[in-house]
Amino acid sequence: MPRTKRPSKVDIDLHKTDEEKKQERKRKTTMYLEKKTPCYISPMNNSYFSAAYIEHLKTSYPYRSYYGKANNECQHCGAVFWYEERKKSVRTKVTYSSCCKEGKIKLPPFNNPPEPLINLLNHNGGRKSKHFIQRIRQYNSLFSFTSMGANIDKSINQGNGPCVFRINGQVHHRIGSLLPKPNETPQFAQLYIYDTENEIANRIRAVNKEDPESADLDPEIVDSLIKMLDQYNPIVKEFRHARDILREHEGVDVSIRIVGPDGQELTEREMPNINELAILIVGELSLENYKRDIIVQSKRHGLQHISILHPAYMPLQYPLLFPYGEPGYHIQMYYQDTNIKSEGKRKKLTMHDYFKYQVHYRKGQPNPYICYGRLSKQIVVDARACEDEDRLQYIAQNQDKIRVEYLQGIVDAVEKGAKEGSEIGKQTLLPSSH
The pLDDT value recorded for residue 228 is: 95
Identify whether 211 is part of a domain.
yes
E strand or H helix at 231: helix 219-232
| Terminal-residue alpha carbon distance, the chain | 60
More confident residue, 404 or 430: 430
Residue 318 structural domain: 117-327
Whether cis (ω within 30° of 0) applies to the bond prior to 62 is no
More confident residue, 214 or 114: 114
The CA distance from 311 to 319, in Å, is: 13
The pLDDT value recorded for residue 359 is: 93
More confident residue, 276 or 36: 276
More confident residue, 2 or 366: 366
E strand or H helix at 278: strand 278-282
* Rg (alpha carbons) of the chain, rounded to whole number: 26
Identify whether 199 is part of a domain.
yes
The pLDDT value recorded for residue 376 is: 92
Identify whether 317 is part of a domain.
yes
* Section 342-357 average pLDDT: 84
Q: Which residues pair with 334 in a beta bridge?
A: 348
State the sign of the Cα–Cα–Cα–Cα dihedral 113, 116, 117, 119.
positive
- Let me know: does 207 contact 187? Beta carbons within 8 Å: no
Identify whether 148 is part of a domain.
yes
The CA distance from 249 to 235, in Å, is: 21
The pLDDT value recorded for residue 66 is: 66
- Let me know: does 372 contact 321? Beta carbons within 8 Å: yes
* Section 292-309 average pLDDT: 77
The pLDDT value recorded for residue 40 is: 47
Mean pLDDT of the chain: 77
More confident residue, 373 or 411: 373
More confident residue, 41 or 57: 57
Which phi and psi (to 5°) does residue 255 adopt?
Answer: -130, 150
The CA distance from 79 to 92, in Å, is: 20
Identify whether 7 is part of a domain.
no
Q: 301-310, 316-325, 356-365: which range is least confident on average?
A: 301-310
Which phi and psi (to 5°) does residue 61 adopt?
Answer: -125, 80
Whether the predicted model's global pTM rises above the 0.85 cut: no
* Section 395-401 average pLDDT: 78
Q: pLDDT tens-digit profile of 128-160?
A: 898 999 899 999 999 999 988 777 777 777 766
296: pLDDT strictly greater than 60: yes
Identify whether 135 is part of a domain.
yes
Identify whether 266 is part of a domain.
yes
Strands (E), 13-146: 40-42, 45-48, 72-73, 80-81
Up-side HSE of residue 310: CA atoms within 13 Å toward CB? Answer: 25
The pLDDT value recorded for residue 346 is: 80
* Section 349-373 average pLDDT: 92
The pLDDT value recorded for residue 358 is: 94
Q: pLDDT tens-digit profile of 64-121?
A: 666 777 888 998 899 998 888 888 777 778 888 889 998 999 999 999 999 999 999 9
Identify whether 411 is part of a domain.
no
- Let me know: does 218 contact 203? Beta carbons within 8 Å: no
The CA distance from 87 to 237, in Å, is: 46
The CA distance from 17 to 15, in Å, is: 7
The pLDDT value recorded for residue 36 is: 47
* Section 283-297 average pLDDT: 57
Nearest one of 133, 112, 135 to 123, comparing CA atoms? 133
Q: 41-45, 151-155, 221-225, 364-368: which range is least confident on average?
A: 41-45
Nearest one of 398, 270, 260 to 334, comparing CA atoms? 270
The CA distance from 118 to 43, in Å, is: 7
The CA distance from 377 to 360, in Å, is: 14
Strands (E), 298-361: 304-305
Q: How many domains does the chain have?
A: 1
* Section 257-280 average pLDDT: 55
358 C-beta neighbours (distance < 10 Å), count: 21
| DSSP conformational letter for 152 | E
Amino acid at 245: I
Q: 25-39, 88-102, 139-153, 206-220: which range is least confident on average?
A: 25-39
- Give the SS3 label for residue 410: helix
Q: pLDDT tens-digit profile of 402-424?
A: 665 555 555 666 666 655 555 55
What is the pLDDT confidence band of residue 383, given thresholds at 50, 70 and 90?
A: very high
125: pLDDT strictly greater than 70: yes
